[in-house]
Chain A
Amino acid sequence: MKLTLSATIGICLTALFVLSAIFAPWIAPYPLDLAVGGVWEDPSSQYWLGTDTIGRDILSRLIYGGQITIFVALASSLLAFSLGAFFGFLAAVKGGWTDQILSRIVDMMMAIPSLIVALVILSVLPLNLTVLIFVMGILDSTRVFRLARAVAMDIAVMDYVEAAKLRGEGQGWVIFREILPNALSPLVAEFGLRFIFAVLFISTLSFLGLGIQPPLADWGGMVKENKDGLIYGKAAALMPAAAIAALAISVNLVADWVLGRTTSLKGGRGG
């Protein structure tokens, strides 16, 4: 299948974000945490995107901030998918009490807004990246569970799943070899979406002061640091906000393309 224009744009932008995050120390013109200019200087040939509230180069901080933001969002989404998909499939395959218990736990978790839960947990636990990733991953896994269970329910009634059970296959084979390959395309599309929610969530947490802690930079935190500049007509806060928006859009373009591609794979569920 050919690359569409939107997919090309999405892949280029996403690659740009990821590569600049990986190679941050070589690309960034200035160190992460050094005041190099005046407060809220306008963009210039020296500081491409201007400087922030204490005179640090915004472009450099954006590049370093991308590292943290993308890593945490990716790690927590992967965790959410591993947990959510596994338990979702298990609930669909086992049915009965297993399904009831898992589903009710998830209902309970979903009944409370994730932001509130996250705020409570994060204000009790020590604030570091691992804790942040786990909290976000577990909270997000409830959404994935819902989707995975629904998709797997449709697949679990197929004759080929029955044939596998009649053969005496264990739960593992049924889940990972019979159901997973057929459930992959909706899950991949969902991954793009959930990754973006993770980026937004971590930005929100940082904005509220419970996410990434200084001196590390992340995009949500940068919006917070520079939000006062908006009052004085300084655009500093808009730069990280624009980065968040651009990442969100480009990842979704890629996810759309992947969805279109996987559904038209051999034996896929229609084009």
Chain B
Amino acid sequence: MAEPLLDVRNLKIGATVYPPGEPPEDITIVHGVSFTLEKGKVLGLIGESGAGKSTIGLSSMAFGRGGVRITGGEVFVNGRDILKLDHGGLRKLRGDEVTYVAQSAAASFNPAKTLMEQVIETCLLHGLCDRAEAEKRAVTFFRKLGLPNPETFGNRYPHQVSGGQLQRAMTAMALCPKPDLVVFDEPTTALDVTTQIDVLAAIKEAIRDTGVAALYITHDLAVVAQVADHIMVLRHGKKVEYGTTKQIIEDPHEDYTKALVSVRSIEHEEKRPTPAPVLKIENVTARYRGTNFDVLKNISVDLHPGQTLAVVGESGSGKSTLARVITGLLPPSAGRITFAGRELSREQTARKRDDLRELQMIYQMADVAMNPRHTVGTIIGRPLEFYFGLKGDAKKKRIQELLDEIEMGKGFIDRYPAELSGGQKQRVCIARALAAKPKMIICDEVTSALDPLVADGILKLLLNLQKIEHVAYLFITHDLATVKAIADSIAVMYRGQVVRYGSKSDVLAPPFDDYTDLLLSSVPEMRLGWLEEVIAHRKMESAGN
């Protein structure tokens, strides 16, 4: 066997953490991980947040993010231990041999320089070629990555291109110096699902054509299955399982990997609409103050008691604005909202207390949805006190009941949000909403900031609570897997309009309109060759047109 390009042996990485109110503490975040990567191969690193995948990826450039240090082990690139390199040697390594593609392209580009300047910067600084040659290379990559007008694309500034294009430009930037290894750190995570597929296909093709090796870091197993030759599953800084992509997807050995593969296996039977919807939205149009553009156009949807309406769409489609209109934070310019048989005031401040109580909301970021200076007891107890006047022992008892309902134990009542995990935080937010005994809860992307397994737990909990409390959910999400798992009816939104609306089985069954078709076919499936099939299918269709 040829000498591997990247050989990581028993890598240990440590960091210093500063727990609130306590002295700093040294912890180990990667516990002796070893792997090798051959020339031209792609290794997928997968795991939930905190698994150490980005940290391991960056260690192949001998780099540690703020406060992170490599404490043990060896990292060989092209046969030499890069952890022993001096400053000049590292500088040559980064950019010549190993390059990096970051998650948020929008935050990583310098807004004051054109794309071309930034794409060829490494080549020029490292003296790899002259400007003319570098620009030629860049244009070649722009073309290969399917960017529009490759000859002039580089003249634009970062704000003049879309997020997906920017992510492809960053891939071009990483490939331009012709490195041996590229580290992709969640390159498609921040993109909409319809954009993700194009970027994914472009990256895959570029990797194949240039023969570069890659580390592909992501938390989405379905995505990595499309691009990687091998997959390493990580958890808590340890290797859980390593194997070929085929083996990991089709025959996982470890329980954790099995759970990752079978995620979103929730069974949910669709319920039939009732004659009296709890929420009826009729012809609602809305715009933000000071703009002359309707963000919501003529929306009409119903939500039935004890059921779930999923509102799906990509970012900017107006789904969160719909939530703001329903809660009254953004008064609609036209249309009617009827809730539990009575018409709701447009303005939130003009609403009756019962309307406020019966319509609760759960937010995407549980971190900022809870006051960091309040204990769990105060957070859940306040609605009880505010709406029902509960005090003292009665309140405490009810808080405990609610904590039991969200499957959290006794010890949590005096904890602060900072002392909870991401999933626990979201559970407390659910309990706060339930405390008001609502008829309906708006769930705004409640699982999208969570790791897949944790998100699964939250969805199961929500479904369970729906059975017990008979509460209706308006579930806003961009994740179609979630929709399939929990919805009774679905509204697909695109540019402020509902383009498709009906029961789950109707919406998810052909014939589709163009947008729904695009959306549905863009959701990565957990099998090999899915990406090629979709791309081939789309090419055929566009050729047919």
Interface residues of A (CB under 8 A from B): 1, 158-160, 162-163, 165-169, 177-178, 181-182, 264-268, 271
Contacts and interface: CB of A to CB of B under 8 A. Distances in A.
B369 interface: yes
B272 interface: no
B386 A168 contact: yes
A266 B18 CA distance: 12
Given A163-B361, A182-B371, A271 B20 contact: yes
A271 B370 CA distance: 20
B404 to A, nearest CB: 22
Interface in B18-47: 18, 20-21
Interface stretch (B175-183, B260-268, B416-424, B508-516): B416-424
B485 interface: no
A257 to B, nearest CB: 14
A168 B369 contact: no
B196 interface: no
B371 to A, nearest CB: 5
Contacts of A165: 348
Given A1-B21, A159-B363, A165-B348, A178 B371 contact: yes
Contact of B369 (A163, A167, A181, A265): A163
Contact of B386 (A159, A169, A182, A266): A169
B363 A271 contact: no
Interface string B366-381: 0011111110000000
Contact of B353 (A1, A168, A271): A168
A253 B20 CA distance: 22
A8 to B, nearest CB: 18
Contacts of A181: 371, 373-374
A167 B386 contact: yes
Given A1-B21, A159-B363, A167-B383, A266 B419 contact: yes
A165 B351 CA distance: 12
B226 interface: no
A160 B362 CA distance: 10
14 contacts: A159-B368, A160-B368, A160-B369, A162-B329, A163-B361, A163-B432, A167-B386, A168-B356, A177-B374, A182-B373, A266-B419, A267-B372, A268-B20, A271-B18
B347 to A, nearest CB: 12
Contact of B370 (A160, A177, A265): A160
B26 to A, nearest CB: 16
A166 B353 CA distance: 10
Interface string B223-237: 000000000000000
A159 to B, nearest CB: 4
Interface of B: 18, 20-21, 327, 329, 348, 351, 353, 356-357, 360-361, 363, 365, 368-374, 382-383, 386, 416-419, 432, 436
Contact of B21 (A169, A177, A265): A265
A166 B348 contact: yes
A163 B417 CA distance: 15
B363 A266 contact: no
Given A167-B383, A168-B386, A267-B20, A159 B369 contact: yes
B412 to A, nearest CB: 14
A182 B372 CA distance: 8
Given A159-B365, A160-B369, A167-B386, A267 B418 contact: yes
B279 to A, nearest CB: 15
Contacts of A168: 351, 353, 356-357, 386
Contact of A266 (B21, B327, B370, B436): B21
A267 B371 CA distance: 9
A89 to B, nearest CB: 15
A166 B356 contact: yes
Nearest to A2: B23
A182 B374 CA distance: 10
Nearest to A168: B356
A39 B350 CA distance: 74
Given A1-B21, A267-B416, A160 B348 contact: no
> Which 9 residue pairs are nearest across A and B when measured between Cβ atoms?
A267-B372, A181-B373, A267-B418, A159-B369, A168-B356, A266-B416, A160-B371, A267-B416, A159-B368
Nearest to A155: B371
Given A160-B371, A182-B371, A266-B20, 10 more contacts: A163-B363, A163-B369, A167-B356, A167-B383, A168-B351, A168-B386, A177-B374, A178-B371, A182-B372, A271-B18
Most buried by A among B20, B417, B436: B20
A165 B20 CA distance: 29
Nearest to A180: B373
Nearest to A182: B373
A167 B387 CA distance: 9
A22 to B, nearest CB: 32
Given A160-B369, A166-B348, A267 B21 contact: no
Contacts of A158: 368
Nearest to B375: A266
Contacts of B416: 266-267
A160 B432 CA distance: 11
A182 B416 CA distance: 13
Contacts of A1: 21
A265 B356 CA distance: 33
Determine which residue in B18, B327, B365, B371 has the highest number of CB atoms from chain A within 10 A of its CB, and name it: B371
A265 B20 CA distance: 6
A159 B356 CA distance: 16
Contacts of B432: 163
Contacts of B365: 159
Nearest to B386: A167
B358 to A, nearest CB: 11
Nearest to A181: B373
Contacts of A265: 20-21
A231 B330 CA distance: 71
Contacts of B386: 167-169
A271 B18 CA distance: 7
Contacts of A266: 20-21, 372, 416, 418-419
Contacts of A264: 20-21
Contacts of B418: 266-267
Contacts of A178: 371
